[in-house]
Amino acid sequence: MLENIRIKSEDGKIKVLWEWSEDEVTSVDIRYKKSEIESGDGTEFMQGGVSRHPGVKTGNAERRLMGEFGLYTFTFVMHFKNNPQDEKMSIPNVALGKPFKIYWRIENTKNGMMLSFLSEQANQATLKAGSISMLYEQYRYIFRQEISDTAKLVFPGDIRAEAVTLRAVEPYDQIYQLIRQRD
């Protein structure tokens, strides 16, 4: 088996590190896929897998980040010395790529409360339909429409701006950092 698996994306690379826990494991194949979207075990991470070297307690693999963004599932297929049966182990919801920062603010207008969005890079991020919810006191509203990073939504009535919170909705398949701007 593999232990203490760490997966991270930094410096333009996806890096996978682990410790070999059994002498019987001779090699491991790594596959990855976009969580909740692709079926099967996904794409081969490293051609030919990673072989274990005698006396070495750790293993690693890395590849260039090639536009991967969001949450991915990594599957490790371990091959054993004296056992023809391979074993699989999966790690879901690994964040890859740089998150988009989405700023949001609330203003009271004569028509009601206006909720507006803006990203660091204009026209670069769209919140998928159903991915964000607004919480207000005991009420929860899930945005069932796609929201661009330049959207402005108006809610009629008297809503206390300080009681509004935005949250991501499961399943998480994108990485957005929602940052509230205050006046």
CA–CA distances in Å: residue 80 to residues 3, 23, 56, 85, 180: 15, 9, 16, 8, 51
Neighbouring residues of 37: CB distance < 8 A, sequence distance ≥ 6: 173
Report the residue count for the chain: 183
Give the β-pairing of 152-155 and 112-119.
antiparallel
Contact 144, 133 (CB under 8 A): no
Give domain limits for the chain: 2-96, 100-180
Residue 166 scores a pLDDT above 70? yes
The per-residue pLDDT for range 92-130, each reduced to its tens digit, is 988 888 777 788 888 888 888 888 888 766 556 677 788
Measure the N-to-C terminal CA separation of the chain; round to a whole number of Å.
53
Tell the CATH topology of 100-180. Answer: Immunoglobulin-like (2.60.40)
Mean pLDDT of the 153-167 span: 84
Domain 2-96, CATH class in plain words: mainly beta
Residue 183 scores a pLDDT above 70? no
Task: Say whether 63 sits in a helix, a strand or coil.
Answer: strand
Would the CATH topology of 2-96 be identical to that of 100-180?
yes
What six digits make up the tokens of 28? 């491991």
d(CA 33, CA 52): 24
d(CA 35, CA 26): 28
Q: Give pLDDT, residue 122.
A: 56
Peptide bond into 171 cis (omega under 30): yes
Q: Give pLDDT, residue 125.
A: 66
Residue 89 scores a pLDDT above 90? yes
Top-ranked range on mean pLDDT: pick from 72-76, 114-118, 120-124, 176-180: 72-76
Neighbouring residues of 17: CB distance < 8 A, sequence distance ≥ 6: 4, 5, 6, 7, 58, 59, 60
Closest listed residue to residue 168, CA positions, set 126, 125, 119, 134: 134
The per-residue pLDDT for range 4-63, each reduced to its tens digit, is 999 998 888 999 999 998 778 899 999 999 877 777 788 899 888 999 998 899 999 999
Residue 150 scores a pLDDT above 90? no
Task: Say whether 162 sits in a helix, a strand or coil.
Answer: helix
